[in-house]
Amino acid sequence: MKKNDGLNISEQFLLENAKKLKGIPDTPVKGRVIPLRLGFTFGAVAAALAAVLVFRLQPSENTDLFADVTSEEVYQYYDSGLIDVETDLLMEYTSVDDFTVEIDPNEEELDLLLDDLNDEELYNILN
């Protein structure tokens, strides 16, 4: 049974806000997720990231695998055309349904996403 979470959100407020939300299909999308600006999808970035990891996950003295990886570098690996890695499982966004999330490699979003996976999880995914 649901418990009271102490949040009282009035029906009137929701009705008013619903009007705004229902206008989303008529509004050009502009948000924290930047669509089409660089013309590649999250899946592509994930693939690029996986390629970087393949290079970086070799035995090394360096315990911080991402210390030197920049978002630009990830994109360069992808852009080089050397990568063909299935990495849908890499990110939680893509597992329930196969929708794509486009991100800007110049923003911090990729770094933030990386924080979700520890080195062992990444290694297990890639091996």
Partner 1 sequence: MHNEDRIWLAYNAGDYRKAFEALVDIQQGQLLRIILRIVGDEDEAMDVLQDTFIKIWKNLASFKGGSKWSTWTYRIASNEALMHLRKKKKFLTTSDPIVTEQLTAGSFFDGDDALAALYSALDKLPAKQRLVFQMKYFDDLPYAEIAQITNTSVGALKASYHHAVKKIEAEVSNFKPGGHSDIKEVS
Q: Which residues are at the interface with partner 1 (CB under 8 A)?
A: 1-9, 14, 17-18, 20-22, 24-25, 29, 31-33, 35, 92-93, 95-101, 108-109, 112-113, 115
First to last CA, the chain: 42
Query: Residues near 73 by Cβ (< 8 Å), separated by ≥ 6?
Result: 52
How far is Cα 44 from Cα 39, in angstroms, rounded to an integer? 10
Q: Which is nearer to partner 1, 27 or 58 (CB)?
A: 27
Q: Give the type of residue at 68.
A: D
Q: How far is CA 126 from CA 28, 33, 36, 105, 106, in A?
A: 37, 26, 28, 21, 24
Q: Which is nearer to partner 1, 35 or 83 (CB)?
A: 35
Nearest-approach distance from CB 113 to partner 1, in angstroms: 8
Nearest-approach distance from CB 65 to partner 1, in angstroms: 19
Nearest to 112 by CA among 54, 42, 59: 42
Q: Which is nearer to partner 1, 61 or 115 (CB)?
A: 115
Nearest-approach distance from CB 34 to partner 1, in angstroms: 12
Q: Which is nearer to partner 1, 115 or 120 (CB)?
A: 115
Nearest-approach distance from CB 56 to partner 1, in angstroms: 23
